[in-house]
Every structure is written in structure tokens, then in C-alpha cells.
Amino acid sequence: MKKEHIQHLYWRAGFGIDPKALQSLLNKNREDIVDMLFSESKSFNPLKINTPEFDTLTYKEFNKTNKIHRAYIEKSKLKVKELNHAWIHRVSNSKETLREKMTLFWANHFVCQDRYILYIQKFNNTLRYHALGNFKDFLKDISKEPSMIDYLDLKQNKKGRPNENFARELLELFTLGVGNYSEDDIKEIAKAFTGYNYDFEGDFEFRENQHNNDFKYVFGKAGHYDGDDIIDIILEQKQCARFICTKLYRYFVNTTINKTHIEDMTNVFFPNYNIETVLRYMFTQDWFYSPEHIGNKIKSPIDLIAGISHTVPVTFKETEQILGIQGMLGQLLLYPPNVAGWKGGKSWIDSNTLMIRLKLPSVLLSNAKIETKEKGDFYDAYKKYYENRKGDSIIKASANWEVFKSNYQHVEIEELGNYLLQCPINSGVQDYLNRLSKKSKQEYCVQVMSLPEYQMC
């Protein structure tokens, strides 16, 4: 398998690959490398933070007084931020690369937000657990998650008082896409999901007395359906497989759709809905490695942070600062902008975020400052965060350059660009690289990662 194809695979299915790991794969064929990618992500390791004040918390204590209730909510919000920090660390350091990449994908598919730490941590690990599994099982478990039940108002969906929020998003965002269902389908499906609830510990409860057990008419079928029955019926529609495959294609291959490739993926995915099978198919196709797909994707903010950290491991010392960086870049994990999630693609880049992106490697790896005392490129984004910090403008992160030295020890300075950049280097960029100082491999690395071309993968 060609060097540039391996790099492409590991940037799309992960967050990059270092020269040492790349060298070990050069004599392997495509199928073996893809097998290895899945094998490394086979195990499921839940992401958990320390939550002693919530682990034994009871409903009675949680709601003892309004003051106590508010105090626990505020503590929980801090823990959610801590979970964000832990997730960034996991993405940047996990051996289960593909599982973590898919966890990010599903987090922007099954979009959800919660302020209670145990529920949102549980939801995050449900995404991680099913990331490479069966989509039908995944969808049924997601519909029973306490965070999703709260986020899309399933608690308010009761017999005689249906709430259509979950039913609408189930069809529009999770399974079929706009135009592939009717308003009557939404109304009937909402009835089927009545009675969905959970206990204080976050375990699903089906409340029979709140469930509408009348006949429901969905996609030409009639029955006394509950939520699981509806999911079975929806997944009988090949459009569901097509909808998911289209999103996978946009995420892993190209935002410009090739209908033939999508249809081929759909035929692999339908009717069994095995996520690993369709991904394995995609990663082994010749078209996946076509030149028009290499280096054409704008890195998401998390891809950018994780990619830098994969090259030079970065440890963030303050949770608020990693939250601040994500906020400035436009992708704050666990805090989606709306139920549709982040748009991705060209929306990641505007005049403000581009400047921050270009500055980020030097900020994280060379102790560079982001000016906050006077208005500048980063003033607006940082003003609120720093208004009470008396001008403190250094990101407190430590870079482990020893790992970089070990992984890149046999790479000449002039060759760094071939390992760090995925998109083609034009003559102007090459001239710029040729003029850069070659005295320090570390400094040259930072300079290369500060190029606009590093924003692509």
C-alpha cells in the first residue's frame, strides 16, 4: 500500500500517523492494514471521570431543597466540562483510533446535550459502545437514553398528550432525512413512543399507563406498535441505509456525493445495518484513495487539536482553557449548537477561526501568546474568558517533544512536510518552506503545522 494512501486512511479513520508507525505498514496490503485498524478498535473502554458526589446521590437528596438542587446542578455542570477535557485527551491518545473517530461521528448524528453528568457520561459511552456495531441495536438504545429522553421531550410524550419532537428528529435527522416521510407518520410514531421514561439512576422505564396502545399506521403498516417496533419498521426502508451511508461518505470521503458509491455502500449496509461491514467496504475500495479525495477535507476543530497532539503530545493543564480553544474554533464537545449538530465542511472556516487555527500550533507547542490586552485577531473570542483574568494570555499546556523526536528521528527536516501535510504543496508554499530556517526540527515542525495546508486532511 502506498505511503500517501496509508496516511490518507489514518487521517480519515483517525487523527494521523507518525513515520515510525507508517514505516511498519509499508509492506502490508490494503486489506491487512484495514484489518489492523479494526482490530485495534475492537475493545470498548468507557470514558469515565471521577464523580464521587453523584455516584451515591439519591433523588430525595438531590431535591431536598431548591438550594441543594441548584448546588448539585452547578457541580454537575463543572463535571460535564471535566468530561469534555477527558474526551479531548482520549481522542488524542487512544489506541482505539477508529472507535473514537466514530464516536465523534455519532455524537454529531445523535445530537444530544445534558447538564447532569451521570446521564451525559452514560450517553457518551453508549455512542462509544455501539460505534462500530449494529445500527438497529444502537438506535433502540439511544431512544432509551435518559439524556435523549430529556433533550427531545420524550418524558412529555404521554397517552392523550403526544409530543412529536423525538418522532420528528428520529425521521429527519437519525434515519430517513427530509422528504422521506409524512406529517401523519410523525404523529403515529409519536404515539408509539409514549410511556418512555427513566429512573433517577438513569435506567430506562417503560410506563405502561402512559403508553398509547391504539393501532398506529406507519409506512403502510398497522399494529399496536411501541418504539422498538417503529425502529424495526423504519429500518425496513432502504432509504434509511442510504441516508446513513451518505453521511458516512461526507464524513470520510468527500462532501461532493458520488451516487454510485453511495448506492454500493447502501447495498452493503442494507438490510443488516452492520456499521463495521460498511466501513470496511469503504476503506478497501479503490475510489476511497482517488487523488480527488486526498487532502480535500477541512479538519474539524477536534481533528485539528487531536492531529497536533498526535504529532507532539499536548497536555492541557486547565479545563477552562481547552474549553476556550474549542469555543473559539467553533466545536465545543458536549455542547452542540442545536439538534442538527455542527454543519462541518467549509463552515469550520471564517476570518476569525482561520487566524486562530493558524496560530494554534505555536500557541500549544511554543508557548506563544494570544493577545488579550488590546484588540486584535483574537480579542473578541477571548474577551469574555479573560475579562477577570488580568491579561493572562498564555495557554497552559505542556508539549512532549521527546515523543516527536523518537517518532521523527529518521525524518530529515526537509521531509517533514511530506509527513505533516496531506494536500498537494504548490510551488509558492514549497518556496516558503525552502526559505524557512532548518536549524531546529521542532521549530520547523511548528512552522509547517501553521500553514493553511495543514488545515486539510
| pLDDT digit string, tens, across residues 162-215 | 999 999 999 999 999 999 999 999 999 999 999 999 999 999 999 999 999 999
* CA–CA separation, 430 and 428 (whole Å): 5
Q: What is the mean pLDDT of the chain?
A: 93
Task: Determine the average pLDDT of the residues in 269-284.
Answer: 98
pLDDT of residue 438: 84
- In this structure, how many other beta carbons lie within 10 angstroms of the beta carbon of residue 386? 18
Cell matching residue 25: 505498514
Cell matching residue 73: 446542578
For the chain, percent of residues with pLDDT exceeding 70: 94
Q: What is the pTM of this model?
A: 0.94
| pLDDT digit string, tens, across residues 253-267 | 999 999 999 999 999
| pLDDT digit string, tens, across residues 299-336 | 999 999 999 999 999 999 899 999 999 999 999 999 99
- Cα dist from 245 to 130, 204, 223, 291, 303, whole Å: 16, 29, 29, 21, 21
Task: Determine the average pLDDT of the residues in 210-235.
Answer: 97
Q: How confident is the model at residue 391 (pLDDT cuts 50, 70, 90)?
A: very low
Q: Judge whether 286 and 261 are in contact, CB under 8 Å.
A: no
In 3D space, the residue among 351, 346, 368 whose CA is nearest the CA of residue 359 turns out to be 368
